[in-house]
């Protein structure tokens, strides 16, 4: 499993550990990823995704998975999230 958010594309960053003597060694800052099940109102089913805590707050703020994916850029989404977005768009077009 990669350490990348499926909705925002947020991944590990690099930086320095700095000691009291100001010695610098490289380190990684990992995103706070959570395994969650999000419900799509349009499709009427849940999807298991691995997303960051910040993305989960944004999904709640925008009013659910469908509203989040409407505003999300397709390039930032994982392949599974792109498929969900495409299925939602098809379901809305046919309804």
Percent of the chain with pLDDT over 90: 97
Q: How many whole angstroms from its chain centre is CA 26? A: 26
Longest dimension (CA), the chain: 65
Q: What is the pLDDT of residues 15-58, one digit of tens each?
A: 999 999 999 999 999 999 999 999 999 999 999 999 999 999 99
Query: How far apart are alpha carbons 49 and 60 in whole angstroms?
Result: 15
Predicted confidence at residue 2, as pLDDT, reads 86
pLDDT at 85 over 90: yes
Predicted confidence at residue 95, as pLDDT, reads 81
Domains of the chain, by residue range, sit at 33-94
Between the CA of residue 64 and those of 16, 17, 48, 52, 70, what are the distances in Å?
37, 38, 14, 15, 10
User: Average of pLDDT values for 68-87?
Assistant: 96
pLDDT at 1 over 80: no
User: Which helix or strand (DSSP H or E) is residue 92 part of?
Assistant: helix 79-94
């Amino acid at each position: 499993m990669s350490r990348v958010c499926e909705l925002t594309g947020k991944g590990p960053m690099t930086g320095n550990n700095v000691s009291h003597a100001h010695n610098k060694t490289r380190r990684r800052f990992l995103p706070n990823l959570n395994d969650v099940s999000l419900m799509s109102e349009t499709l009427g089913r849940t999807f298991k995704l691995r997303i960051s805590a910040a993305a989960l707050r944004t999904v709640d703020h925008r009013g659910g998975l469908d509203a989040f994916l409407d505003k999300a850029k397709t390039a930032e989404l994982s392949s599974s999230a792109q498929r969900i977005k495409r299925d939602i768009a098809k379901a809305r077009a046919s309804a």
